[in-house]
Structure 1
Amino acid sequence: MLLLRGVQQEVGSSVPLTDLIARHLGIKASEILERLVLRKSVNVIEKRSVRFAYNVALRLSSEAHERAIVKRWRHFHALQKLHQGGARRPERTIGPAAAAAEATNGLNWSSVAADLATPSPPPFSPRRRNKVESSSPDAITVHEVDLYEASEPFSPFISPPLPAAIAARSLRPLIIGSGPAGLFCAYVLAKNGLRPVVIDQGSECSKRRKDVFAFWHGNRLNCWSNAAFGEGGAGTFSDGKLTSRNRSDVTDFVLRTYVELGCAESCLYESKAHVGTDVLYNVVPEFRKRLQQLGVTFLFDTQVTQLHIQPSAPTFRPSHSGGHSQPAPSYLPAAFSPLRDAGVIAAAPDHEVSQCSDSSRSPRHFTGVRVRWRRDGSDGGRRDGDGLTSEAVYGECDIVSDLCVVACGHSSHSTYRTLHEGGVKMTPKDWTMGLRLQMPQSTLNRVVYGKHADVPEIGAAVWRYARAHPADGRGVYSFCMCPGGTIVNSSHGDGCVAVNGMSYSTRSSSYANSAVVVQTKTHDVARYWGKSEDECSGMDALAYQQHWERAAFHAGGSDYSIPAQRLGDYLSGNPSKGLPKGLVFGQCTPTDLNGCLPDFITTALHHALRGLLRSHSRDGLFADDTLLTGIESRTSAPLRVLRHGTSFESCNTQGLFPCGEGAGYSGGIVSSAVDGVNTAMALLKTLVQRRALDG
């Protein structure tokens, strides 16, 4: 097959892309037997020229024809280089180096030299960056032509396969969290013969959706089931971007899986693939059904409250007759039945189970968890730190296992506390905090696309911003930009308020929104708590984040309303008495946002926002009545659960595998899913090695 990189087609072209490519290559369109789009993006070179940029693979009628086209491309590419080198005599290019190049690339350098006398430009002209080479809408440019070799697709099976005997005598792995990392980890483990148990504090998707929208419409915040906790993770109520900076065979596997589950096929090749919350509502439950068919058990409305860590590995093995020494609780939700039948559930004892909580002690082995489940009809309370008030009706039990993947989200403060109490090593890391602002989408389209603003094929325009604050060099940039979307209240309890952006698949809202965030360093956390960076712990970083989220909670009226302000009032330091028109899911309270973030962030934001007002004073993208909401603090986890680089296992707890965004190793849906796949493969290899040693 042929590979064409950097194919650029003018927006509004009336000629099909295949015909344009054939015309450019000097062949007939009928000779192209197959066309595969590998990458597609929108390239805005100038407002007067908006182009689609493609990487395309073509299958022609014969391989010989494909090789001939590549040879001809290389010939004229070399000719172009000679033209750019100035008026040199042709014989200067014919020497030992040129002869070697001719032998390597199959180029006829004598012919290249002769063509220098030809005044007409070569038919293949590499595009020049940031320059429009043709104003005709029915013309394309091609950056490179080469032969295409498709790589082998990623296989989710380890090699050699996991022996059936090992799978049969292994305890069921536990996975904390049903976000992308947890779901894809469970998928790979199940494909290899294990039957993992996925535990999530939130509810399954349909119930979770009702809980979230009830809160947004003014009802009680459900501290167990909300925009942060539940099936699909926080990404279910977001912009639903399926993008990744690093494209690999695992990334392709993740994207293919999403397409199989119901996402559009364009997600495989669009550079900024977008799904939308309304599509994820259906995709996530479909994924759960597939996993359940593979033997995966899901425990929703179930919170892990304690890790059991002992100085020796567990000797218990599952038995069909139920071999645990302690009886199971008298009442268990129906979802727990497979675990009760396997004999891996025990009633939680009245006394505290002794455990090895000293993080410096070695060895430390994971042996199980204690979970607390929420019974039907309980909302977990509203204002309690853990969401477990006297209104909550719950039960608890112990689950025995020797393998656990911690794939919680970055909002799972209770899981962080459980890990800390269990002595699992964590460390602070850099992240960002800021505010989320709203802008009119039609104005943004006009600013970015110019005369092409109303062309439906290019979709809603995206706004980007990145600067370094002149005072201290901190990065100030846009984050999680949501074209045609809405601002949402993503609070989960703990007396903390945070916002996010969300959009549906059509991105048809009249407003766009984006966070503007500032880098927050580990030394900022240490300085705030009066410690050195070496003394600063992961829980210090979490407490720092919570401090500012609680400041936003109080600024909004201490009822989980979103604190909001006009941009002009924010810059002048005056509390807003009213709010401009906008689209926000959740109750808003006009207030002053200046006290909701550290001084260094507020100073950097003021500088950036004043600059935006100046630069967009004529086009109207930003104005004094631009809506600001706060705070945007969940850009990533403020800490990292330490793990080994190759085995992905906790640095000080055997059998525990930190994974995904909550553990500090990814950011976004796709990268979290990729980390879930990689963690599962590492766990399987570790399992085979240890079972082999056990005999």
Structure 2
Amino acid sequence: MSTRFVDIEALEVPLKAVAKLPIQSIDHHLEPWIARACRIPESDVVRYLIDRRSLDARGKPDLRFVYNLRAEVREDSPVNEVPGISVRTTPPPLDHSLATLPLAESLPLHPIIVGAGPAGQMAAYLLALHGCKPLVIDRGRDADTRTADLEKFHTTRDLDPESNYLFGEGGAGTYSDGKLYTRVKDRRMRFLLEAFVAARAPRHILWRHHPHIGSDILPHMCKHLRKQIEQWGGSFRWQAAVQDVVVENGRCSGIELTNGERISAPLVLIAPGHSARDLITTLMRRGVEHKAKGFQLGCRIEHDQRVIDMGQYGCLPGRDLPKHLLGAAEYNLVSRPPPHAKADHVTTFCMCPGGEIIAATSDRGQLSTNGMSRYARASSFANAGLIVNQAVEREGDGMAGFDLIERLERAAFAAGGGDYTCPAQGATAFMRSEDGPAVGSSSYRLGVRPGRIDRILPPATVTALREALKFFDRVIPGFLTKGTLVGVETRISSPVRFERNPETLASSLPGLYLAGEGAGYAGGIVSAGLDGLRLAETILTGKPALRER
């Protein structure tokens, strides 16, 4: 049967129209709506591929899924071409694939990748795909052992500095909800997501507007990525902390572990994560060119998930619409006060619907928070970071930023009682500079106790947060009056960025590449993974791989 392709934009599906259908996901049953939009018989729709799905809640509680998709229909089908519906006479072009790169004549064999987070993982993935057989070294442990270590931490409160929510297979992203949206526009995005799907991530991450994987699925996905890299000839080594690079004749020729062992390699790619401050500091003191950059800090806010659902949807999942159709509501808020308010901008960060707050620390005697959600997002709590840009000491080397972060984390640890209990303050009490009443229940598994968050954070940050809370409460009623501030949020971005040679994307030390969040080039799973892919592509082709739409 001959067919042709139809591009459809902004196809609307009202949730009320599908609420009672005996299906788990409308994504796989769109033929009636495609036929209606094109004014053709449903039987003429052969198949379709979703490019994107988003939720339109502007008319809440009248919610609608909005699709951009590509349908394949019978060639003789009389498609009604109107704005938003266009017929292609030829198949759409295939996406660019990193699997078919124009490779350089000589490829590095057994390069070393330091760090098994998203940047290191994806750099190793692409290098292994093209036969380079990388060795991936990480100071932490594999996903299964790491999970057991975290359970032990929750039971004993004895933090393992090398195996925690930040260090180990998958990096900090393994326990961060697995949100896969970013402002970065890059043609490599499809390759990244397809690699995740091949590693058992949910297939719908390829098209949903705000996709997420879930912190219960992410460890398994990371293991499957590792197994694929190993099948292509790569190898992994755990519990191997790197303390320095080896330099010979002005070039990086390998690494040195904390036990004194040296490992040689044709090149080294370090993706340290923003918590590997010891290694980052060593590279800075070695003279690898770097500069101070803007970074963010703040605190985490927690609500009853129903407050967010009503504010965003105007209805409740499970009561007004089936939960399998409409999950826990999320938000992405920005406060931009007028100049007379003399307050900085505030952005919500790593919002976790149906999630929990975790102890995102790798240092004894220090405490920072983050959030995560499992795939089902079924917790009764919602949480998000409230973060504020910090002033940058342009002439400094970034150490002042690290020092500030450490001071705040030590203050939060002490305010919680010194056992990883987290200080918490009602948002209303925070506004009034009061102790306030004892906070209620929290998703933070190690417990909360009353604490003055307004006395821990820098004064300018407190001022910005107070302005933001008033504004956010107008957007989502109850955001201020029913919110609780929990701990301090400091492990968001690095205060340092290492310079790159524009021709090779290497650092100022030839043979050494620096990637991801710790290098100052990313801020999340997707942007870090893309940065690792760009560096690997550069190594493979000999040409700088820039961000391209």
- Tell me if TM exceeds 0.5: yes
- Alignment partners' CA distance in 1, 2:35 and 2:109: 58
* Residues 101 and 541, structure 2, Cα contact 8 Å, conserved in 1: no
In structure 1, the partner of 2:518 is 662
Q: Of 349, 355, 358, which residue of structure 2 is paired with 1:479?
A: 349
> Hey, what's the Cα distance between the residues in 1 that align with 2:381 and 2:171?
25
CA deviations 1:239-288 (Å, max 9, x no partner) are: 11122334543110111111111111111100111110111121111111
1:49 matched residue in structure 2:
62
Instruction: Please say if residues 185 and 679 of structure 1, whose CA atoms lie closer than 8 Å, have aligned partners that are also in contact.
Output: yes
1:365/1:402 contact within 8 Å kept: no
Q: Superposition pairs for residues 296-445 of structure 1, below 5 Å?
A: 296-310=234-248, 312=249, 364-372=250-258, 395-445=259-309
Aligned partners of 1:576 and 1:592 also within 8 Å: no
Structure 1 Cα separation of the partners of residues 516 and 44 of structure 2: 46
Out of 254, 262, 271, the residue aligned to residue 200 of structure 2 is 262
Measured after TM superposition, the shift of residue 53 of structure 1 is 0.4
| SS of residue paired to 1:55 | strand
Cα deviations by residue, 1:7-53 (Å, 9 ceiling, x for unpaired): 11111214853112212322111111111111111111221321000
The whole-number CA distance in structure 2 between the counterparts of 1:613 and 1:493 is: 35
2: distance between equivalents of 1:641 and 1:494? 27
Question: Cα distance, 1:506 vs. partner?
Answer: 0.2
Normalising by structure 1, we get a TM-score of 0.72
Counterpart of 1:623 (choices 477, 481, 484) is: 481
Contact 1:408 1:415 in 2 (8 A): yes
User: For 1:127-276, what aligned pairs fall within 5 Å after superposition?
Assistant: 143-147=84-88, 150-157=92-99, 159-161=101-103, 163=105, 166-167=106-107, 170=108, 172-276=110-214
> Structure 2 regions of 5+ residues with no counterpart?
22-28, 545-549
Deviations along 1:362-395, whole A, 9 cap, x unmatched? xx311221102xxxxxxxxxxxxxxxxxxxxxx3
Which has the larger displacement, 395-404 or 33-42? 395-404
2:204 is aligned with what amino acid?
Answer: S
SS in structure 1 at match of 2:311? helix
Paired position in structure 2 for 1:140: none
Amino acid at match of 1:429: K
**Equivalent position to 1:540, from 400, 419, 442:** 400
| Contact 1:218–1:586 under 8 Å retained in 2 | no
Question: Given the alignment, which residue of 482, 485, 493 partners 1:636?
Answer: 493
Alpha-carbon distance in structure 2 between the residues aligned to 1:41 and 1:240: 18
Q: Secondary structure at the match of 1:608?
A: helix
1:458 aligns to 2:344 (yes or no): no
Q: Residue 6 of structure 2 contacts residue 85 of structure 2 at CA under 8 Å; is this kept in 1?
A: no
CA contact (8 A) 2:328 2:353 kept: yes
When residues 161 and 571 of structure 1 are mapped into structure 2, their CA distance, relative to the original with a 3 A threshold, is closer
One-letter code aligned to 2:335: R
Q: Give 1:592's aligned residue.
A: 452
Which structure is larger by alpha-carbon Rg, 1 or 2? 1
Q: Secondary structure at the match of 2:348?
A: strand
CA positional deviation for 1:547: 2.5
Equivalent pair of 2:256/2:262 in contact (CA under 8 Å): yes
SS in 1 for 2:216: helix
The residue type equivalent to 2:39 in the other structure is: G
Compute the displacement of 1:615 (Å). Answer: 6.6
2:162–2:362 Cα contact (<8 Å) kept: yes
Q: Structure 1, residues 297-352: CA drift from partner, whole Å, max 9, x if none?
A: 21111111111223x2xxxxxxxxxxxxxxxxxxxxxxxxxxxxxxxxxxxxxxxx
The 2-side partners of 1:227 and 1:441 are apart by 24
- Identity across matched positions, percent: 31
In structure 1, the gaps of 5 or more residues are: 74-123, 127-142, 313-363, 373-394, 527-532, 689-695
Q: Deviations over 1:203-253 (max 9, x none)?
A: 111111111222233430000100010000101011111223345431101
- What SS is found at the alignment partner of 2:297? strand
**AA in 2 matched with 1:488:** I
State the AA in 2 paired with 1:417. Answer: T
Matched with 1:27 is: 40
Mapped pair 1:2 → 2:15: no
CA RMSD for the aligned pairs? 2.3
When normalised by structure 2's length, the TM-score is 0.90
Q: Supply the distance in 2 between the matched residues of 1:29 and 1:685 (Cα, whole angstroms).
A: 47
2:303 is paired with a residue whose SS is strand
Work out the CA distance in 1 between the residues paired with 2:155 and 2:467. 35
Q: What's 2:335 paired with?
A: 467
Counterpart Cα distance in 2 of 1:541 and 1:634: 11
Structure 2 counterpart SS, 1:396 = coil
Q: Greater relative contact order: 1 or 2 (C-alpha under 8 angstroms, separation 6 or more)?
A: 2
SS at match of 2:485: strand
1:452 CA drift (Å): 6.1
